[in-house]
């Protein structure tokens, strides 16, 4: 029986998968161990390690930096994914690729379904969409794309850990209230992926959406982090225009998760419960 290759294993999602995956049958790589943009190197690695499944957690996620670093963002988010899809088709591998809500422009007024037309506004979203399109065009069987949003974890750098740090250092903070979405605890997504893996059986690529349940703003999220962690830092609502960034953020990025729940019988936790679980793991739940 073949092994499962998890790329981007040093990131938030890859780290969470490593934490719960069986001790045997999984191989974890990061950019120092395997260059996913080098197709020959990747194909050789897959053959030598008898891989039959790829879970791709690797991505260029520096959203603002991508506006200037277009070539590298495209290399990791598009070209590498094209290579993976070609290898998956040639060798008959399962492929799970993680994508993003940034493929949409954020102008919807109801949760995005998988069939909604993407319209990314920045380099990050455009390169991630190009990666999706490569998979759909190459069409390896037993491949799925999972779009997610607002990912945080006990690992790496993320909004939750930033708020905890700033909540100690400052008396008050301004946080954006006019961007609406749902946080995704990477541990929940990791569990969902491992649950889904043996059930994947589709002749052509399928797209799915996954985030935690609920709908909030970044302001609401920050308020709840401070409340659960018992930080005295006051959170003040600000508009997006008061916090300009090189890359435009989607104002509305709620994802409809009916398809993944229906096809794989996945149970998705409520965002507040997941935040509590993450803070408990970090030793910050008071």
Taking the C-alpha atoms of residue 134 and residue 58, their distance in angstroms, rounded to an integer, is 16
For residue 60, how many C-alpha atoms fall within 13 Å in the half-sphere facing its CB?
A: 31
What are the angstrom distances between the C-alpha of 101 and each of 17, 60, 118, 185, 255? 21, 14, 9, 15, 8
Q: If we measure between CA atoms, which residue out of 237, 209, 225, 208 comes closest to residue 274?
A: 225
110 — phi, psi (to 5°)? Answer: -145, 155
124 is catalytic: yes
Query: SS3 of 102, please?
Result: helix
Query: SS3 of 52, please?
Result: strand
The catalytically annotated residue of 60, 102, 112, 124 is 124
* Other beta carbons less than 10 A from residue 273's beta carbon: 14
227 — phi, psi (to 5°)? Answer: -65, -50
Residues belonging to the active site: 124
């Amino acid at each position: 029986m073949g092994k499962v290759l998890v790329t981007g294993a040093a990131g938030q999602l890859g780290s969470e998968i490593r934490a719960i995956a069986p001790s045997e049958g999984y191989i974890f790589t990061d950019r120092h161990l395997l260059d996913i943009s080098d197709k020959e190197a990747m194909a050789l690695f897959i053959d030598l390690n008898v891989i039959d499944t790829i879970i791709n957690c690797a991505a260029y996620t520096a959203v603002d930096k991508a506006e200037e670093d277009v070539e590298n963002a495209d290399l990791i988010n598009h070209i590498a994914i094209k290579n993976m899809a070609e290898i998956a088709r040639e060798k008959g591998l399962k492929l799970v690729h993680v994508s993003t809500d940034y493929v949409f422009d954020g102008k919807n007024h109801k949760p995005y379904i998988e069939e909604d037309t993407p319209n990314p506004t920045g380099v990050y979203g455009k390169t991630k969409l190009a990666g999706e399109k490569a998979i759909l065009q190459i069409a390896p069987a037993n491949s799925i794309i999972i779009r997610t949003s607002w990912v945080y974890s006990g690992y790496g750098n993320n909004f939750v850990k930033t708020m905890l740090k700033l909540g100690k250092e400052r008396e008050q903070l301004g946080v954006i209230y006019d961007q609406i979405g749902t946080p995704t605890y990477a541990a929940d997504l990791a569990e969902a992926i491992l649950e889904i893996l043996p059930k994947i059986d589709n002749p052509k690529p399928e797209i799915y959406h996954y985030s935690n349940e609920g709908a909030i703003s970044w302001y609401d999220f920050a308020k709840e982090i401070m409340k659960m962690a018992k930080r005295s830092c006051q959170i003040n609502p600000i508009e997006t225009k008061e916090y300009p960034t090189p890359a435009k953020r989607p104002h509305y990025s709620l994802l409809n998760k009916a398809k993944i729940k229906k096809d794989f019988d996945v149970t998705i936790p409520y965002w507040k419960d997941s935040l509590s679980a993450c803070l408990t793991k970090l030793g910050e739940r008071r």
